[in-house]
Amino acid sequence: MRNTGAFSAMAIAGLVIGYVMFLIGLYNAPFELNVKGYYIAVILLISYSAIGVQKVTRDNAEDKEIIAEEDAKRTFQG
């Protein structure tokens, strides 16, 4: 396991707190309903994109490590 339970819980709590604060601010904002819907759609898209970029970056780093290990094994065997 890469992360401790406390670190994972802190990350999830930070995300939830951020969403709650955003929604409270949006609820109190003097915008029309269609503008509020636009802001909700944008925050969801940004969240999805941030998670996707983080996952792709991590996967690429892991792939480089795996390729380097396999190259080292081939060099040692051959």
Each residue of 32-76: pLDDT tens digit? 999 999 999 999 999 999 999 998 988 888 989 899 889 888 888
Question: Would you call 31 helix, strand, or coil by DSSP?
Answer: coil
Check residue 44 and give its pLDDT. 93
Listed in sequence order, the residues at least 6 apart from 39 whose beta carbon sits closer than 8 Å to its beta carbon are 26, 31
Question: Would you call 40 helix, strand, or coil by DSSP?
Answer: helix
Question: Would you call 28 helix, strand, or coil by DSSP?
Answer: helix
- Cβ atoms of 22 and 43 within 8 Å: the answer is yes
Q: State the pTM of this model.
A: 0.69
Q: How confident is the model at residue 27 (pLDDT cuts 50, 70, 90)?
A: very high
